[in-house]
Structure 1
Amino acid sequence: MLKSTIVDTRVRLRPSKKLLESLNAQKEHLKELPANVATALEKNGYSVPKSIRILKDSELVFKRPQIDTKLLDKLTADVPDVPQETAEAPEKEQEQQQRPVDGHFLYLNDLHWLNSTLTELRKNNVINVFLYELIESCELILPENEFKPRNPELEARCQRLREEQQNREYQKMTKNVDATLKHVPEDTVAYQLKSINKQIIAVAQFIFSVAAGFTFGFFGVNLMVGPLPFGFRILLGVIVALVIALAEMYFLAKKLHEYDEVLDAPKRKTPNSPKVSGVQNIKPHVD
């Protein structure tokens, strides 16, 4: 699996029933509601009065809250390092309060608005609830990379290459044990010399063919037709040599392709052949 870029980088919060019930209980003191909050309330069966103005994301104006270190120290003063076991509440009530509900997600702008609203309500002695108490039972969803499946053809090719590598390593390990693998043709000096000779012969054949074509264009046409200008004879020789060079390159590439096809033929798997997992002990042919 491959990871792609993060499309949506926003942090999302799925509101819990506790949060929605608190907002529903205080909606008579609210004059404005963000669109995401209003949608979450309506989708979970809570009505939104028409007197409340629905704010769009671009209309949300707020100040980023500052961390009150004194209040934070006061709240965490009696918190032990190791959490203690608390009395278990009734299972049904606890599940209803902490279980996330369906609906729209809330984003950081909505949480900033909620924090500002709770601050104003606390100043007016309407409620005495803090933001962390409402969102502690909510589900926080962080942005993640999307996974893309790999190309099946690429995965099959990688699997085949891994099996071939495992086979080569297995042959090296069992080379001194199995008598049929003691003299692998690829490891002998004669095999390497034959390969080098083939390559040298192919290069020499290419050079001789191009030289013969140039000679024919430079001397042969002059002998058949008659005396020609020196520059025209050079041009004929270059043209004939170029044509022969292109033809030689074509046949050389075709021959190399056929050679690769012959080498890869045993490695290919037929569609009807059964799949074999693990390391396969493929012994090379010994002359």
Structure 2
Amino acid sequence: MLKSTIVDARVRLVPSKKLLDFLDAQKEHFQQVPENVAKIMKQNGHTLPIRIKIIKDAGLVHKRPKIDYDLLKKLTENLPDTPKESAKDQPESEPEAEVKDSNDEESPKQVKYFLYLNDLHWLSNTLAELRRQDHCQVFLHQLIESCDLLLPENEMKPRNPELEARCQRLRAEQHNRDYLKMTKNVDAGLKHYPEDTISYQIKSLNKQIIAVVQFIFSVAAGFTFGFFGVNLMVGPLPFGFRILLGVIVALIIALAEMYFLAKKLHEYDEVLDAPKRKPQPTTPTKRKVVSTPPADGSQVQTLKPHAD
């Protein structure tokens, strides 16, 4: 499984029954309500007065609240800095509790209605206005403490099966190469690989240098033919036209050389990926059984000693 990018980066809040009951009790004092909040109240069986104006999310304008860093530092100074226990250090009885907790956490995700940050800004401003008018003395943290907070998560996507199979094949080949390299001093048949000798490496390097030099000379020869040869066969041509002919011929030869070079490299890779040696089937040797009748007439068989 692969983690994809986060599609919806908004923080979502699942409204609790306490929050919905408070909104229903104080709806007579509301002048305007966001569209999302009105939809959530309607889905839970609460109705709004007709005089309340429904505002769309684009029409909500809120000022960013100023963060009191001194207060935040004072509240967090007594918190312990001990890291969480790793999965290896936890006892075996805890996974069952973790499974139960995960099931409980998944239940709010099935809810289709959420409160977003704009709705919380509206709720905070509305609560401040209600406290100023002495309608209630409720703060925002008292309403959302019983709500479930859902953070954005990465979507898990399955990997391509063809890519996974290819990765496993390449991984197995690499493991086989590492194993052969570790055991070549033990098995006499693996000691003298041509790839391990200096002469083989020099020959491979010479082949690659020759291929590169051949490519350069072929392209240069094609450009020379297009620049000088056509001019000698046809007659005097403009200088720009001669350069264009040389570049065209050089590109054609370069594409052909690249095709044959890639084909040769592919064949070289197939040779390297082939097994180093094929195991030869061993045929078991049978011992000859010679029966020599003894003098007393009893049939006792004696085994002939092995040739080895």
Instruction: Output the TM-score relative to the length of structure 2.
Output: 0.57
Does residue 104 (structure 1) correspond to residue 113 (structure 2)? The answer is yes
Query: Which range moved further: 188-197 or 26-35?
Result: 188-197
The residue that corresponds to 1:16 in the other structure is 16
- 1:74-85 equivalences under 5 Å are none
Tell me how large the CA RMSD over aligned residues is. Answer: 4.8
Distance of 2:262 and 2:70 partners within structure 1 = 81
Compared with structure 1, are the counterparts of its residues 232 and 67 closer, same or farther at alpha carbon in structure 2 (3 Å cutoff)?
closer
Distance of 1:35 and 1:150 partners within structure 2 = 39
Compared with structure 1, are the counterparts of its residues 123 and 184 closer, same or farther at alpha carbon in structure 2 (3 Å cutoff)?
same
Q: Give per-residue Cα distances to partners, 1:133-153, cap 9 Å, x unaligned.
A: 111121222333444444333
Q: How many residues align?
A: 234
Query: Which of residues 122, 126, 133 is equivalent to 1:124?
Result: 133
Distance of 1:28 and 1:207 partners within structure 2 = 85
Compared with structure 1, are the counterparts of its residues 105 and 199 closer, same or farther at alpha carbon in structure 2 (3 Å cutoff)?
closer
Does residue 184 (structure 1) correspond to residue 200 (structure 2)? The answer is no
Distance of 1:255 and 1:54 partners within structure 2 = 68
Distance of 2:111 and 2:259 partners within structure 1 = 68
Distance of 2:151 and 2:261 partners within structure 1 = 54
SS in 1 for 2:50: coil
Distance of 2:73 and 2:208 partners within structure 1 = 80
CA shift, 1:102, in A, is 3.2
SS in 2 for 1:111: helix
CA shift, 1:198, in A, is 5.8
- 1:51-62 equivalences under 5 Å are 51-62=51-62
Query: Which of residues 153, 173, 187 is equivalent to 1:144?
Result: 153
Q: Is the 8 A contact 2:4 2:154 kept in 1?
A: yes
Distance of 1:209 and 1:119 partners within structure 2 = 82
Q: Is the 8 A contact 1:118 1:131 kept in 2?
A: yes
CA shift, 1:192, in A, is 3.8
Q: Is the 8 A contact 2:218 2:254 kept in 1?
A: no
The residue that corresponds to 1:162 in the other structure is 171
Q: Is the 8 A contact 2:62 2:121 kept in 1?
A: yes
CA shift, 1:195, in A, is 4.2
Q: Is the 8 A contact 1:206 1:248 kept in 2?
A: no
| Amino acid in structure 2 at the alignment position of 1:109 | N
Compared with structure 1, are the counterparts of its residues 164 and 234 closer, same or farther at alpha carbon in structure 2 (3 Å cutoff)?
farther
SS in 2 for 1:167: helix
CA shift, 1:41, in A, is 1.0
SS in 1 for 2:13: strand
| Amino acid in structure 2 at the alignment position of 1:51 | R
Distance of 1:148 and 1:246 partners within structure 2 = 42
Query: Which of residues 259, 265, 282 is equivalent to 2:267?
Result: 259
Distance of 1:68 and 1:199 partners within structure 2 = 67
The residue that corresponds to 2:181 in the other structure is 172
Q: Is the 8 A contact 1:44 1:103 kept in 2?
A: no
- 1:31-50 equivalences under 5 Å are 31-50=31-50
CA shift, 1:52, in A, is 2.1
Distance of 2:62 and 2:19 partners within structure 1 = 20
Query: Which range moved further: 57-66 or 200-209?
Result: 200-209
SS in 1 for 2:18: helix
Compared with structure 1, are the counterparts of its residues 251 and 147 closer, same or farther at alpha carbon in structure 2 (3 Å cutoff)?
closer
Distance of 1:205 and 1:156 partners within structure 2 = 37
The residue that corresponds to 2:87 in the other structure is none
SS in 2 for 1:42: helix
Distance of 1:149 and 1:130 partners within structure 2 = 44
CA shift, 1:254, in A, is 7.9
CA shift, 1:260, in A, is 4.0
Consecutive unaligned residues of structure 2, counting only runs of 5 or more, are: 81-106, 236-244, 280-308
CA shift, 1:35, in A, is 0.7
Relative contact order, higher structure (CA 8 A, sep 6+): 1
Distance of 1:230 and 1:128 partners within structure 2 = 96
Compared with structure 1, are the counterparts of its residues 199 and 131 closer, same or farther at alpha carbon in structure 2 (3 Å cutoff)?
closer
Q: Give per-residue Cα distances to partners, 1:180-203, cap 9 Å, x unaligned.
A: 211123213454455467668878
| Amino acid in structure 2 at the alignment position of 1:129 | V
